[in-house]
């Protein structure tokens, strides 16, 4: 009696999606809106990439990012300048977790509007915002503190730095997407370039059996040099 061999049909290996992240530091939020302004094209982005981290749109905690493997994020789009201790911490964390870090918009690239605060120091900024201001009712002259005790416990705030820094003054930046906010066509061109590069690498692996070095050409949509 012969034993019949049963062949198991192998399922085709699904190509892994790109892994994206977005973060909003010291900025107005216009860059976040610009991402949504690509309208129905956002569906193409979702089809090509999973968004692992986007605090403005997703319920995710910093500890979730800290638990990610290093370089597990393919591309992080970081908008906003660095004004606080928290923003610096997240910039360094995302630099560690991302293969490529994009300074997304004018504030991340060169400080933008928040950078104008560098004509004053922290004390002067707080004085105008909380003390010497006709629209502020603050008879006890209270200004933000990094720690304050209340009956429920201790409340904390991140340190507010004396100066504003651009992203590349804190961590290494791979690419810059200029604009306030970046125009939608530049955003789409950048995403398309990233997806095309991924597809090119996949085809190279399939045809050659080994990965060849592929260089992403510089262009106005995804520039290796700051627009400042």
- CATH at 29: 3.40.50.700
Residue 223 counted as domain residue: no
**pLDDT over 80 (residue 2):** no
Q: How confident is the model at residue 161 (pLDDT cuts 50, 70, 90)?
A: very high
Between CA 193 and CA 92 the distance in angstroms is 25
Between CA 67 and CA 86 the distance in angstroms is 17
Q: What average pLDDT score do residues 36-50 get?
A: 86
Residue 10 counted as domain residue: no
Lowest mean pLDDT of 103-107, 122-126, 219-223, name the range.
219-223
Residue 180 counted as domain residue: yes
Q: How confident is the model at residue 170 (pLDDT cuts 50, 70, 90)?
A: very high
Residue 149 counted as domain residue: no
Between CA 107 and CA 114 the distance in angstroms is 7
Q: Which domain holds residue 193?
A: 18-127+163-208
Contact of 162 with 113, CB cutoff 8 Å? no
Residue 156 counted as domain residue: no
pLDDT tens digit sequence for 193-223: 888 887 666 666 655 544 434 344 443 344 4
Residue 218 counted as domain residue: no
Q: What average pLDDT score do residues 42-67 get?
A: 90
User: pLDDT at position 220, please?
Assistant: 38
Task: Give the total number of structural domains in the chain.
Answer: 1
Greater confidence (226 vs 65) lies with 65
Between CA 32 and CA 90 the distance in angstroms is 17
Contact of 177 with 104, CB cutoff 8 Å? yes
Q: Is 16 helix (H, G, I), strand (E, B) or coil?
A: coil
Residue 50 counted as domain residue: yes
Between CA 146 and CA 61 the distance in angstroms is 21
Between CA 28 and CA 54 the distance in angstroms is 16
């Amino acid at each position: 009696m012969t034993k019949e061999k049963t062949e198991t049909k192998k399922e085709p290996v699904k190509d892994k999606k790109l892994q994206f992240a977005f973060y909003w530091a010291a900025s107005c939020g216009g860059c976040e809106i610009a991402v949504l302004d690509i309208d129905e094209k956002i569906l193409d982005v979702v089809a090509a990439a999973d968004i692992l981290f986007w605090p403005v749109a997703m319920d995710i905690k910093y500890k979730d990012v800290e638990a990610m493997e290093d370089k597990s994020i393919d591309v992080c789009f970081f908008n906003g300048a660095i004004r606080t201790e928290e923003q610096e911490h997240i910039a360094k964390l995302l630099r560690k977790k991302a293969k490529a870090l994009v300074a997304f918009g004018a504030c991340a690239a060169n400080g933008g509007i928040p950078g104008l605060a560098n004509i004053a120091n922290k004390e002067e900024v707080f004085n105008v915002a909380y003390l010497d201001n006709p629209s502020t009712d603050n008879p006890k002259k209270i200004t933000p503190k990094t720690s304050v005790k209340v009956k429920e416990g201790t409340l904390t705030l991140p340190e507010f730095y004396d100066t504003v820094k651009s992203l590349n003054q804190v961590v290494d930046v791979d690419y810059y997407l200029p604009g306030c906010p970046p125009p939608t066509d530049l955003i789409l061109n950048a995403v398309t370039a990233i997806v095309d590069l991924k597809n090119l690498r996949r085809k190279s692996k399939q045809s050659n059996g080994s990965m060849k070095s592929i260089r992403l050409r510089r262009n106005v949509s995804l520039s290796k040099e700051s627009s400042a």
